Amino acid sequence: MSFPILEHVAKTERHKTFFLSCGTAQATPIIFVHGWPELSISWSGQLPVFGGLGFRAVAPDMRGYGRSSIYSRYDDYALEAVVADMLELLNSLGAKKAIWVGHDWGSPVVWSIAQHHPECCHGVANLCVPYIPEGFAVEAVVPLADRTLYPADKFPAAQWDYQLFYRENFALAEAGFESDVAATVRALFRAGDPAGRGKPARTAFTRVNGGWFHAANRAPDVPRDTAVLSEEDEHRYVAALERNGFFGPDSWYMNWQANLAYAERAKAKWRLDIPVLFLHGAYDYVCETLVSHLAEPMRAHCSNLTEVTIPSGHWMAEEKPVEVNAALAKWVGSQFPKLWAV
pLDDT digits (tens, 9 = 90+) for 87-119: 999 999 999 999 999 999 999 999 999 999 999
Distance CA 199, CA 154 (A): 14
Residue 66 maps to a domain: yes
pLDDT band at 2; cut points 50, 70, 90: confident
Q: What is the mean pLDDT of residues 204-216?
A: 94
CA separation for the pair 24, 37 (Å, rounded):
29
Supply the CATH number for residue 204's domain.
Answer: 3.40.50.1820
- Specify the DSSP class assigned to residue 127: E
Structural domain contains residue 204:
yes
What mean pLDDT is predicted for residues 230-258? 98
Q: Give the count of domains, the chain.
A: 1
Is 324 within a domain? yes
SS3 235: helix
Model pTM score? 0.98
Residue 100 is assigned to a structural domain of this protein = yes
- Per the structure, the complete domain to which residue 136 belongs is given by 6-339
Q: What is the DSSP string of 197-219?
A: TTS--GGGGTTTTTSTTGGGTS-
Report if residue 292 sits inside a domain. Answer: yes
- Residue 341 — pLDDT band, cuts 50, 70, 90? low
- The answer to whether residue 125 sits within a structural domain is yes
155, 173, 167, 176: which is closest to 285 by C-alpha? 155
Could you give the CA distance from residue 183 to residue 187 in angstroms, rounded to a whole number?
Answer: 6
pLDDT tens-digit map of 115-145: 999 999 999 999 999 999 999 999 999 999 9
Is 1 a domain residue? Answer: no
- In sequence order, what are the residues at sequence separation of 6 or more whose Cβ sits closer than 8 angstroms to the Cβ of residue 60? 10, 17, 18, 19, 20, 31, 33, 34, 40, 68, 85, 86, 89
